[in-house]
Each structure stands twice: as structure tokens, then as C-alpha cells.
Structure 1
Amino acid sequence: MAENKRITPLNFEIDEVGLSVLGWEISNFQARLVKEDYGPRQVFYRVAASAQVHFHANDWQVRYDATNLSESDYLPSIVWQLRSRSRGALMSYQEVILPLKKRELRVPKMVSASMELWQGKGKGDPEDLYVWIGGVDWEEIDGWHSRPSFNWRDMPCEVVDYTTLRGVTMDVKEHSALVRDGKRLEVSVRAIHSLGSAEDLFAAYKDSEEFYGDSDARLDQYGDFVAQAPDVFVDVFDATGFLLDQRETSNYRWVTVGNGGAVPKRNPSFIQVVSFDLQDFSGDPARVVIRIQDAVT
């Protein structure tokens, strides 16, 4: 048993606008910091949260839950992050709860979630910490948990955009490559997918393997069609330029254009997190390149 267990409320920030366009309403949100003190060198912290989630299907007017194969039964993801007012993000973006199905949210639902433990006496100031929570159309998050940590090391990271098609492009708002506790490399990307004109999207559709018609076909000859978002690769290099590892994001991100060239009126949001164990590399990682290119289906 802990010699001293202390529970302190934490401040939080809810992206209400970002959640509302996805149909989500979060109420009665509470976050708390749990400190368990087992002795001078055995102090552990954990963040827990409780909330009521309510889904308003009529507010989810622009939907990006469809792939080229089927429409998903799952609702958009709710994600969170522990942040420090003095140091910024202390973990990668993670899902608050596993994705929920539409039929599970016919009535408001109470949910609770916890972040992983972290250790370190004096590294859990409730006046400095807060929880950010929001929603996203598309997420590709590697793993369920990213352990909060005050021991991060930045690694040089750049974004290279090789795309030529203008139908669906990526406007990267935030990117980082961070080594956590000297053991794991976590690479994060937060982006908005900007949509071009109906003609731009139709050109992207004709460039894909989903198109089986005449290359000279006109937009007005087609009803609904889909265009795929760009592919995203994460390349990790050592100081000599040797490629230590590469991760390709699963690309099930599709934009449906309606009959008559009706382009969705809202751009889809996207969060990606990929992680690597440093011990798996055949050398010391020195830089990361996030590579964006036209989708190859």
C-alpha cells in the first residue's frame, strides 16, 4: 500500500468546436492527478478522467467514416493529451476510449479512462498540468498508450511533400520526433487535409486504381466518386543517412464527392502517432523525415 495517496483535481481544455462538428458533446468532465508515494524514490503519478459523452448524429453533417470498401460502424475518435503549461505536451496524442459504435450512443454514456503511470518525485505539479481533449476525423495512432514523461529529447524532424495531385492535400499543423526516457522514439503529425475543386478531386480519382473508365472522361459524366488522401511515410535515419526503419501509415482516408461534383464543405482532420523501440535499430537514430506522396492504391 502507498504510504501517502493524494488525489488532486486537474484543469482541462476541451476543443468543443472540433468535437461538435463530429457530433460529440462532452459534459461533466473531470480530470484528477493521483499521486502514490511509496518512499523517497518511489513516487508514481497517474491521470484519470471521467465524463459523459453524447453523440448528436444530426450535427455530424460532413462525414469521413467511409472507405472505398464500406462505411464504418464506428464514430470519430476522441483523443487526449497531457500538457504542461511550462513545457508543452508530455505525451503523444492517444485515444481516450476505444472507438464506439453508433448504436452504443443512442443515449448519453458515462466513460472513464486513465493514462499510464509515470515515476519521479516532484514531477507532477497539478498547478502546471492540464488535460487537452478533442476529436478527429481520421487517426492512425500506434498503440493504446503513450506514457507521460518529463524526459523528452527532440530529434531533428522535417516534412517533405512530394505530392503532385491537388485533390486532397495535407496541411501539416504540428509535427515532432521525440525520444522518450531514452527508450522510445515517438513521431507525431497533426494535419488538416485541404480539399481542392471538384475537378482536382476528379483528377485524383482518375489517377487511382479505383477508376476503370476512359481517361478522357468528364466530371459531369459521373455520379458519386472517391479520392484518396496522400500516403504518409515516416523514415528514420542515422547520422550517415542509413535508413534504420520506415513506417507507412495505413491509408483508409477517402473523400467522397457527391453527384454533380459536390465537394464536402469541411476539411477532414488527421492525427498520426508512430513509435519505435530504440533497441530495435541497427544504429543510433539521428533524424526523421515525414514523407508525403500521392496515394498508391
Structure 2
Amino acid sequence: MPNKFVDVPIGLDEVALAHRGWSCLDARARLKVDNWSRLSVSLELSHDAEAWTNRFIDPDFMLSPLVLEVTSVATGLISYASFGFRDAASAVAGDIHEAVSGVISYGDDPVSASDLRLKLTSFDAADVPLSIRPLQTVRRPLKVQFRSASAGLDALDHEIDVDAYVSSEDPDDEEVTVCVRGVTTMAAYRKLVEVTASRDEGHEDGEFEIRLPNVQVDVLDETDFLLKRFEATHYMEVSGASADDVPKRAAEWVDFFTESADELAGEPSKVVVRLVQG
């Protein structure tokens, strides 16, 4: 079969991008269809550090990650792919070009543009694959339990959404997939100072320094045998010495974990999600 190239529309989450200093000058997606279907995305961007007013990550370490959200129109399943990581120094020399790609279907039936919904967005932290993964079908859902593993998160309010399931493109090649999306809101300034002071004596009066949580996910069988542990480190924190230093918006993050079922020593039955102190 000769190669066939098809353009795919891609939407922009302009609010999420602008919150983190990003501007998208050009975004294009293209399907290459031969024996398989491969999706590629090309971006041209700029970054304005002055517009990135609410920060949860040290810009000298990295900028807020750019993430591609891929939705299957047929199933509604969402997957994510990251465009990698940049620090502030690498983003000041003009326009930035980024790309991500991957096989989106190994099947005999080619994927069409109408089968996909694509969106470019940004989070304050993201632990997601660095390439686009094949479209999946859910074979069975997994039970989800949530447990707090740290008493040091009382200065924060969390909203957590978890999807966990066994999926596959091919019924003979199943994967465990767990997606955790979170929104973390800061307490008022006085509470942040109070919590900081209760933990150590290394800060001056009125200062606060609070690390935002990381994520730990355990995959277990029906006997509670631990089959797999996923961990995501977010590197997020807030610090300051006045109420003006408290971020004016919540931190948003996403973690997308996968593991081949063939690698597990049992049949997955449930996942346990914990927020742990950063």
C-alpha cells in the first residue's frame, strides 16, 4: 500500500497554555497510513516568562510541560503524550519547535481524521508517555481505592479523578492503564505559614514553603498481592513571605501509567491511589 498522508485538526487549550506562559503559533497533525497508522504532531511555540505569573515549578529546572490529549471518538478513551521538557534558558532564543509521534493503530483498517480528537494543552506537572500510543479498547475496568499516605498535606485541598482499566488494541496483548488527574488548591496565607512553622524552624516569621504531592499507584490482584507500583514525582512547590506570593489559581497535574499485563505476576483487580508528600 502506498503511503497516504491525512491532515488531522488539532484544538488548542488556550487558557491552559496562557496560564503557563505558552503561545502556540502553529499546530499541525498528520496521519501517515500504510500498513499501520502513525500520528505525528508538529508545533511552533513561544514562551513568555512574564506571563507565567503563578508558578509551581522552578523555571530554571523546567517549564510547565506541553501535553497532547488524544481522544478516540469511538470509545471516548483519552490518552496523553508529552513533548518533552525544557528549562527557561532554552526557551528565550525565539520560536520553539516541538514534535511528537507514534503508531496509533497496528490494525488492518486505517485510522481516519474523524476517528480522533486532538488537543494541545499544558499542566503544571505531567508524567505521561513521550510518544503517542495506539488507540485502546477497554476489556474490563479496575476498582479504584484512594488513600492518603501523608499527614503533611493539610495546607492543600485536592480534587482527584482516576480512570483504571485493562485495555488493548489486540485482545492478546492487554495493558493495565491508570490515569490520575488532579487539581490542588492552596490554603490561605496564614494557614500556609502555620503549616510551614509546624514542620521545622528553618524559616523566618511569615515565610511559607509547601511541597505539593506526588502520586503513588499500586496495582493489586483480588488477594491484595502487589503486582506493580507506579510512582510520579511532580517537583511542585509554593513558597513566599506574603499573601501576594500565594498562587491565585490551583495547580493542575496529570499522570498516565501503563504496564503490559504479561509482565504482571497475577490478574489485576484493583488499584490503590495515594498522594504522598513531595
Instruction: Give the alignment's TM-score, normalised by structure 2.
Output: 0.86
- Asked if structure 1 preserves the Cα contact closer than 8 Å seen for 2:140 and 2:167, the reply is no
- What's the RMSD between the two structures over aligned residues? 2.4
What is residue 39 of structure 1 aligned with on the other side?
A: none
What CA deviation, in whole Å up to 9, does each residue of 1:179-225 have, x standing for no partner? Answer: 342332121111111111123323432454xx235xxxxx9x62433
Q: Secondary structure at the match of 2:272?
A: strand
What CA deviation, in whole Å up to 9, does each residue of 1:146-187 have, x standing for no partner? Answer: 512233334324241436543123211x32123342332121
**Pairs within 5 Å for 1:110-125:** 110-122=97-109, 124-125=111-112
- Asked if structure 2 preserves the Cα contact closer than 8 Å seen for 1:223 and 1:258, the reply is yes
- Alpha-carbon distance between aligned partners in 2 of 1:18 and 1:50, rounded to the nearest angstrom: 19
Unmatched 5+ residue regions in structure 2? none
- Asked if structure 1 preserves the Cα contact closer than 8 Å seen for 2:3 and 2:32, the reply is yes
- Alpha-carbon distance between aligned partners in 2 of 1:204 and 1:246, rounded to the nearest angstrom: 30
What is residue 271 of structure 1 aligned with on the other side?
A: 254
Instruction: Indicate which of 166, 183, 187 corresponds to 2:154.
Output: 166
What is residue 16 of structure 1 aligned with on the other side?
A: 14
- Asked if structure 2 preserves the Cα contact closer than 8 Å seen for 1:223 and 1:260, the reply is no
Q: In the superposition, relative to structure 1, how do residues 230 and 159 fare at CA in structure 2: closer, same or farther (>3 Å)?
A: farther
- Alpha-carbon distance between aligned partners in 1 of 2:138 and 2:100, rounded to the nearest angstrom: 24
Q: In the superposition, relative to structure 1, how do residues 156 and 207 fare at CA in structure 2: closer, same or farther (>3 Å)?
A: farther
- Cα displacement (A) at 1:31: 1.0
What is residue 78 of structure 1 aligned with on the other side?
A: 66
- Cα displacement (A) at 1:23: 0.3
Amino acid at match of 2:101: S
Q: In the superposition, relative to structure 1, how do residues 103 and 88 fare at CA in structure 2: closer, same or farther (>3 Å)?
A: same
- Cα displacement (A) at 1:50: 1.7
- Alpha-carbon distance between aligned partners in 1 of 2:258 and 2:195, rounded to the nearest angstrom: 30
Unmatched 5+ residue regions in structure 1? 37-42, 214-218
- Alpha-carbon distance between aligned partners in 2 of 1:244 and 1:262, rounded to the nearest angstrom: 42
- Alpha-carbon distance between aligned partners in 1 of 2:72 and 2:164, rounded to the nearest angstrom: 18
- Alpha-carbon distance between aligned partners in 1 of 2:71 and 2:219, rounded to the nearest angstrom: 26
What is residue 35 of structure 1 aligned with on the other side?
A: 33
What is residue 228 of structure 2 aligned with on the other side?
A: 245
Amino acid at match of 1:149: L
**Pairs within 5 Å for 1:34-73:** 34-36=32-34, 43-66=35-58, 72-73=60-61
The alignment status of 1:284 with 2:275, answered yes or no, reads no
Instruction: Indicate which of 188, 192, 209 corresponds to 1:197.
Output: 188
**Pairs within 5 Å for 1:133-148:** 133-141=120-128, 143-148=129-134
Instruction: Give the alignment's TM-score, normalised by structure 1.
Output: 0.81
- Asked if structure 2 preserves the Cα contact closer than 8 Å seen for 1:82 and 1:148, the reply is no
Q: Secondary structure at the match of 1:248?
A: strand
Bigger Rg over Cα: 1
- Asked if structure 2 preserves the Cα contact closer than 8 Å seen for 1:222 and 1:259, the reply is no
What is residue 240 of structure 2 aligned with on the other side?
A: 257
Q: In the superposition, relative to structure 1, how do residues 161 and 263 fare at CA in structure 2: closer, same or farther (>3 Å)?
A: farther
